């Protein structure tokens, strides 16, 4: 069952007749799933893609070769390109990109610890890029990220 903030976000999107899509890595499809679990989500949810592995990001989302090597797969730069590039292929009003570190490994470092999540949201009139550091289990980090995405979108569409 979706959280209260995801439900509120979906209701606002329904009221404003706005559609949404997702390009996910760290959340592995759970972001799209949570939005899909809200009543009448078929009116807003276009769909999503899970690009967990580097090859998926490069081959399907056309992240330029060398970009991931330069910035890492879990970076603001790659997240931005995921959202922008997927948004070009999908006819939705809002496209969300999400990457990050929910478990040890990957590009984890002192400056980018486990719990670091990058979010990039493309709207018709603007883009929002955020970096967060959450704590807790892998599941908790993903759930916190999902709620933050919903909150960012809700605040934007209510303005």
pLDDT in tens, 22-43: 999 999 999 999 999 999 999 9
Mean pLDDT of the chain: 95
Average pLDDT over residues 106-112: 88
Cα-to-chain-centroid distance, residue 17: 20
Neighbour tally for 125: CB within 10 Å: 6
Encoded tokens for 26: 């760290």
Tokens 């984890």, located at residue? 108
Q: What is the pLDDT of residue 108?
A: 86
Nearest to 155 by CA among 135, 133, 134, 130: 130
Query: Locate tokens 């670091």: which residue?
Result: 116
Q: Structural domains in the chain?
A: 4-158 (3.90.950.20)
Question: For the whole model, what pTM was predicted?
Answer: 0.95
What would the two tokens of residue 55 be? 């090859």
Instruction: Identify the CA nearest to 46 among candidates 8, 6, 87.
Output: 87
Residue % of the chain over a pLDDT of 90:
93
Nearest Cα to Cα of residue 153 among 114, 131, 120: 120
């Amino acid at each position: 069952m979706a959280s209260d903030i995801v439900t509120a976000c979906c209701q606002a999107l329904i009221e404003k007749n706005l559609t949404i899509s997702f390009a996910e890595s760290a959340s592995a499809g759970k972001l799209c799933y949570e939005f899909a679990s809200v009543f009448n989500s078929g009116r807003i949810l276009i769909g999503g893609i899970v690009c967990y592995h580097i090859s998926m990001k490069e081959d399907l989302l056309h992240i330029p070769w060398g970009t991931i090597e330069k910035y890492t797969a879990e970076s603001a730069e790659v997240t931005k390109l995921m959202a922008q590039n997927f948004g070009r292929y999908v006819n939705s009003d809002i496209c969300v990109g999400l990457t990050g570190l929910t478990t040890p490994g990957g590009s984890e470092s002192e400056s980018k610890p486990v719990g670091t999540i990058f979010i990039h949201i493309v709207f018709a009139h603007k883009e929002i890029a955020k970096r967060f550091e959450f704590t807790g289990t892998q599941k908790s980090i993903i759930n916190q990220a999902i709620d933050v995405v919903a909150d960012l979108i809700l605040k934007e569409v209510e303005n």
